[in-house]
Amino acid sequence: MEKKRVFSGIQPTGQIHLGNYLGAVKNWVDSQDEYENIFCVVNSHAITTTQNPKELREKTYELAGMLLACGIDMKKSNLFIQSEIDEHPALAWVFDCNISMGEMSRMTQFKDKSLKNPKNVNVGLFNYPVLMAADILLYQADGVPVGEDQKQHLELARNIAQRFNRDFGECFKIPEPMIPKIGARVMGLDEPANKMSKSFNGANHAIFLLDTPDEIMRKFKKATTDSQNSIVFDQKRAGLYNLLNIYEIFTHKDRRKIEDEFEGKGYGVFKTMVAEVVIEALRPIREKYEKLRSQKGYIEEVLNEGANKVRPIAKATYKKAKEFVGLV
C-alpha cells in the first residue's frame, strides 16, 4: 500500500530546544518508516523578523545538521531548504490573489507577533500563513504534524485548497492535522504556564539540544515545581506535570510505574533522575552533530540532494495551479 505523504517545516531561528525535539522532531524521526516524509528548513519564513544575513545562512545549515543528527535519514526522508524551491513564493502569490484581507486578519499569531515586534509589522508577517499554506499544498501532503498553536494556520491551508479546487478545478489534496498524543506541548522549566520557546529570555527556561550535561543538570535542578510532597501526574501542578511528561517520553514507562518509582522520594532525587535520562538521550545527538559539522560540504550536499528530489513535485503542482488560474 502506498505510504501517505507528510510535510513539515521548522524555522532556522535560535537553537533547537527540548520542546521542538519532543513536540516535533522526535516524532518526525520515529515515523520515518510509516510515511513518505518531506521536511523543510523554512528560512523564507524567518525573514518576517529582522535577520543578520550571514547569521541566517549559518543557522540554516546548523539546523539542517541538527535534524540529521537527531535521526532524519535521507534514505527514508527528504530534507531541503525552502528558498531553494522557487515555487513556494510563486504559489503563495496565486493564493494571495484568492484570499480576503478579512480572513487573513483573523489569524491570531499575526496579532500576537505584532504586539511583540511593534516596530517591524511587515506585510510578510501578515502574509506568513499563506506562504505556509503554499509550503504544504505544493507537495500534495496527506498530513501535517502540527502543534496546537499551528492548527489555525493548517485550517487556513485546508480552506484555501478547498476553495481553489471548487473555483478552478481539482488541484490540491486536503491535508489532515497530525497532533501527537504526548510531547506536543513541552512547557518552560522556569515558567511552566508558558510553552518552551527559543525567544524566552530566562536562563533556565529551555533545554537546548547542544547544552552540556552540566547545563542540563543545572536547569532541571532549578526547574519550578511546588510545595507538595507527592510525585504524581496532576495537570493542575503544572511544573511537576511538565517534568513527569518529559520523563515519560524518554523512558517509555507507564504512568503508574513512574508514580510508583518516585513514591516517597523528594523533588531533588526526581529532578536529578529526569536530568540524567535527558542527558543520556541527547548525548548521541550532540556527538553526531559535532561529527557532521566537521565534514565540510556534507550538509550542503545532502540538502541539494533533498531539493532535487522534491523539486519535480513542486514544479508539477505549481504548473497545474498556474494553468487553472489562466497564467501562461
Q: What is the pLDDT along the chain (328 residues), one digit of tens a residue?
A: 689 999 999 999 878 999 989 888 988 999 899 999 999 999 999 998 889 999 999 999 999 999 999 999 999 999 999 999 999 999 999 999 999 888 888 877 776 676 666 777 788 888 889 999 999 999 999 999 876 667 788 899 999 999 999 999 999 999 998 876 655 579 999 999 998 987 777 788 999 999 999 999 999 999 999 999 899 999 999 999 999 999 999 999 999 999 999 999 999 999 999 999 999 999 999 999 999 988 878 999 999 999 999 999 999 999 999 999 999 8
pTM, entire model: 0.88
Within a domain: residue 195? no
Per the structure, the count of domains in the chain is 2
Within a domain: residue 53? yes
Please, which residues have CB within 8 angstroms of residue 198's CB and are 6 or more apart in sequence?
A: 13, 14, 15, 17, 20, 206
Q: Are residues 309 and 260 in the same domain?
A: no
Please, which residues have CB within 8 angstroms of residue 74's CB and are 6 or more apart in sequence?
A: 68, 302, 305, 306
Q: Are residues 150 and 218 in the same domain?
A: no
Full residue range of the structural domain in which residue 255 is found: 213-291
Q: Are residues 41 and 175 in the same domain?
A: yes
Which residue bears the cell 511552566? 192
Please, which residues have CB within 8 angstroms of residue 88's CB and are 6 or more apart in sequence?
A: 44, 82, 131, 134, 135, 138, 314
Q: Are residues 128 and 84 in the same domain?
A: yes
Return the active site residues.
113, 195, 198
Q: Are residues 95 and 130 in the same domain?
A: yes
What are the beta bridge partners of residue 6? Answer: 37, 143
Q: Are residues 155 and 242 in the same domain?
A: no
Q: Give the three-state DSSP class for 328.
A: coil
Please choose, from the candidates 58, 44, 49, the residue with its C-alpha nearest in 3D space to the C-alpha of residue 9.
44
Query: CA–CA separation, 42 vs 39, rounded Å?
Result: 9
Q: Are residues 245 and 275 in the same domain?
A: yes
Q: Are residues 135 and 60 in the same domain?
A: yes
Q: Are residues 13 and 160 in the same domain?
A: yes
Q: Are residues 150 and 284 in the same domain?
A: no
Structure-block grid coordinates of residue 62: 546548523
